[in-house]
Amino acid sequence: MLETPLILAIESSCDETSAAVLQGLNVLSNIVSTQKIHEKFGGVVPELASRAHQASIVPVVEQAIAEAKVDIKSVQAVAVTLGPGLMGALLVGTSFAKSLSLSLNIPLISVNHMHAHVLAHFIQYKEAQILPKFPMLCLTVSGGHTQIVLVSSPLEMQVIGETIDDAAGEAFDKAAKVLGLPYPGGPQIDKLAFGGDEMKFNFTSPRLDNLRYSFSGLKTSLLYFLKAEMLKNPDFIQSEVSNICASYQRTIIDYLLVNFETAMKRWDIKNICLAGGVSANSLLRRKFLELGNRHDCATFIPEFQFCTDNAAMIGAAAYFKFQKHDFASLDCAPKANWSV
């Protein structure tokens, strides 16, 4: 077998159907098809997600192979997200990957989606790229998870802090819904926060011990605040939307970074990185870099294309498993709640 294997990777854990081809850690193609159907429901509808994955998985894989300009017969392993995620959505990707593994007679590699978000930092997409060193500390913030992860090696990770209820991405998405903004709300709030006064309003974020987070109260605090203000001024949201978004966003980002900074000091780690969909947030990116500079850390924030769900990160995680010949059996089943 070649030292730098050609891996086809598939991601279908939520509302993105994605396929990528990697030569080692080099991305030859990374196709992401985002399901638009959920917009009108203000959130992901699991059954509709499964149907949309079913409809797009073949064209997305075909496009990934075509763009990579490789022959599918030269692919040496097929990697797939085994979890965590929506069961029906995961079933589409895993069944497809198993069939390919069987028909091409190549190994199957099962990948933990949250591992893959972290390992997105090892995807090679440009010349002379500087990679994080181990141990590293990662703040993984997505629509389903908020975790502080101690990463000892590509295959050894430990969650040392996480949310006890909603994820940070959910706090963005639910607030956007309350404000009447389209789904997903994170990018909308990020955009509207530009030019807003981030100190104008205050929302509560509870301080918990043991590096834990809680986001469910934040959305409730926004809801009650809006109800009270709208009694005085029915046009309150329209006239203050920028200031509300800026203040709410600042509350989430500061909250995320307080615990992360405590973890950095406690574990004395000098390589820090940001991962997951919320790492596309402009304020979080800026403040994370500032935090790293203050502590003299090597600081890594992902390329925009690798922040939200994509198969290139699944391929990168799979590469490390391939090196250890850590292959999955064809009778492996999707794990909706697979922890790191």
10 Å CB burial of residue 1 (0-12, 13-18, 19+) is exposed
Among Zn ion, ligand KG4, none, partner that 186 touches (CB below 5 to 8 angstroms by kind) = ligand KG4
Are the C-beta atoms of 74 and 23 separated by less than 8 Å? no
Give me the least distance between CB of 96 and Zn ion, in Å please. Answer: 19
Rg of the chain over all Cα atoms, to the nearest angstrom: 20
Residue 196 contacts ligand KG4 per CB under 6 A = no
Of 65-73, 127-135, 137-145, 149-157, the window that binds ligand KG4 (rule: CB under 6 A) is: 137-145
Binding to ligand KG4 in span 241-300, by CB under 6 A: 276-278, 280-281
3 state SS for 196-249: CCCCCCCCCCCCCCCCCECCHHHHHHHHHHHHHHHHHCCCHHHHHHHHHHHHHH
Give me the least distance between CB of 111 and Zn ion, in Å please. Answer: 12
Distance CA 89, CA 87 (A): 5
Residue 143 contacts ligand KG4 per CB under 6 A = yes
Closest to Zn ion by CB, 10 vs 179, is 10
Distance CA 66, CA 73 (A): 13
Closest to Zn ion by CB, 11 vs 240, is 11
Residue 184 contacts ligand KG4 per CB under 6 A = yes
Distance CA 76, CA 9 (A): 11
Distance CA 308, CA 205 (A): 25
Are the C-beta atoms of 211 and 198 separated by less than 8 Å? no
Of 1-9, 98-106, 166-174, 228-236, the window that binds ligand KG4 (rule: CB under 6 A) is: 166-174
Lay out the sheet containing 298-300: strands in order across. Answer: 156-162, 146-153, 136-141, 271-275, 298-300
In the shown chain, the binding pattern of residues 1 to 40 toward ligand KG4, with x for contact by CB under 6 A and - for none, equals -------------x--------------------------
Q: Shortest CA distance to 186 belongs to which of 94, 296, 277, 116?
A: 277
Give me the least distance between CB of 280 and ligand KG4, in Å please. Answer: 4
Binding to Zn ion in span 281-310, by CB under 5 A: 309
Residue 166 contacts ligand KG4 per CB under 6 A = no
Residue 142 contacts Zn ion per CB under 5 A = yes
In the shown chain, the binding pattern of residues 90 to 129 toward Zn ion, with x for contact by CB under 5 A and - for none, equals ----------------------------------------
What phi, psi does 208 have (nearest 5°)?
A: -105, 160
Binding to ligand KG4 in span 75-134, by CB under 6 A: none
Of 178-186, 199-207, 295-303, 313-321, the window that binds ligand KG4 (rule: CB under 6 A) is: 178-186
Give me the least distance between CB of 256 and ligand KG4, in Å please. Answer: 11
Distance CA 25, CA 6 (A): 9
Q: Shortest CA distance to 315 belongs to which of 126, 139, 110, 91?
A: 110
Residue 144 contacts ligand KG4 per CB under 6 A = yes
**247 contact partners, CB below 8 Å, separation of at least 6:** 196, 197, 198, 199, 200, 201, 202, 203
Of 54-62, 103-111, 139-147, 253-261, the window that binds ligand KG4 (rule: CB under 6 A) is: 139-147
Give me the least distance between CB of 171 and ligand KG4, in Å please. Answer: 8
Which structure tokens are listed for 203?
């929302």
Are the C-beta atoms of 84 and 338 separated by less than 8 Å? yes
Among 169, 292, 302, 334, binds ligand KG4 (CB under 6 A): 169
Chain residues binding ligand KG4 by CB under 6 A are 14, 142-144, 169, 172-173, 184-187, 190, 276-278, 280-281, 308-309
